Amino acid sequence: MALAPLILEGVSFTYPDGQPALHEVSLRVEPGETLGLLGPNGAGKSTLLLQVNGLLRGRGAVRLGDLLLSDRTLPEFRGKVGLVFQHPDDQLFMPTVFEDVAFGPRNQGLSPERVRERVEAALRVVDMLHCAQRPPHHLSLGQKKRVALATVLAMDCEVLVLDEPTSGLDPRGRRELARFVADLPQTRLIATHDLEFAVELCDRVAILDGGRLAAVGPPATVLADEALMERTGLEVPHSLRFHAPGIAHRHLIPGEAPP
């Protein structure tokens, strides 16, 4: 699969009630990169994801390589940029897992044989092929999240946009989802409050604060910046805490609380 960069140029959005959500956000996600979109509640993360997929349309430009998102290109753009919602029940609505994952490819006009190939391949990636004939509402939250991911993978998209993928998952479900996402070849844009997940999985992170881009860079650099974390309402992840600038590096005595 030949990938193109995802480019946002001066993206702004104001809701109909006059509430501004995004202010001149410019960002480039390189082909095959995993970029974490971080920030406190109300920072504009979900709004930005909806802009990237064309579900919301504001000012500025969104491009995938040479393809500019517009009214004319919207169907093609959505076929290339797949959005996985935070709550899988917002995405799963068919009687069986198979039918849910088949919905997108069928709407792309693929033959029944090709649809089946896409569905089985996507479910195999997330280890859910054995649940193909089960009703989605009978699945655990972790299983639903994996099926929701499969509905996008079946579209053969270039970019995966995930909104809070680890929300509500237990540690095992979180590890499994991280493993599946890490092994995918697509470019990935992930909005998350799970900063440890971002440290583990992301090549770079971008922090939004009040709808503005506050910082972009490697997780180990950006998320270890105590002043930045304090200013944007976040906290230095535990895994980086003793490597953050200005913090003494020392071993803890067993049972001693971190400073």
- Give the number of other Cβ atoms within 10 Å of residue 11's Cβ: 25
pLDDT the model gives residue 225: 94
Q: How far, in Å, CA of 228 to CA of 234, rounded?
A: 8
Domain-wise residue ranges, the chain: 6-92+158-241
* Average pLDDT estimate for 186-212: 95
* Average pLDDT estimate for 191-214: 95
pLDDT the model gives residue 237: 92
**What's the token pair of residue 72?**
């004319």
Alpha-carbon Rg for the chain in angstroms = 19
Q: Write out the DSSP string of 89-133.
A: GGT--SSSHHHHHHHHHHHTT--HHHHHHHHHHHHHHTT-GGGTT
pLDDT the model gives residue 1: 66
Of 239, 233, 207, which Cα lies nearest the Cα of 220?
239
pLDDT in tens, 120-170: 999 999 999 999 999 999 999 999 999 999 999 999 899 999 999 998 888
Q: How confident is the model at residue 242 (pLDDT cuts 50, 70, 90)?
A: low
| Token pair 């753009």 in the structure block, residue | 77
Q: How confident is the model at residue 173 (pLDDT cuts 50, 70, 90)?
A: confident
Checking if the pLDDT of 191 tops 80, the result is yes
pLDDT the model gives residue 248: 35
Checking if the pLDDT of 250 tops 70, the result is no
DSSP state of 86: S
User: For residue 159, which phi and psi values (nearest 5 degrees)?
Assistant: -125, 130
Q: Are 159 and 189 in contact (CB under 8 A)?
A: yes
Superfamily of domain 6-92+158-241: P-loop containing nucleotide triphosphate hydrolases (3.40.50.300)
* Average pLDDT estimate for 203-221: 95
pLDDT in tens, 96-120: 999 999 999 998 889 999 999 999 9
Q: Are 214 and 26 in contact (CB under 8 A)?
A: no
**What's the token pair of residue 177?**
């989802």
Q: Are 181 and 32 in contact (CB under 8 A)?
A: no
Of 234, 30, 161, 192, which Cα lies nearest the Cα of 222?
234
Q: H or E stretch including 151?
A: helix 141-153
Q: H or E stretch including 37?
A: strand 34-38
pLDDT the model gives residue 255: 38
Q: How confident is the model at residue 85 (pLDDT cuts 50, 70, 90)?
A: very high
Q: How far, in Å, CA of 250 to CA of 232, rounded?
A: 27
Q: Are 197 and 183 in contact (CB under 8 A)?
A: no
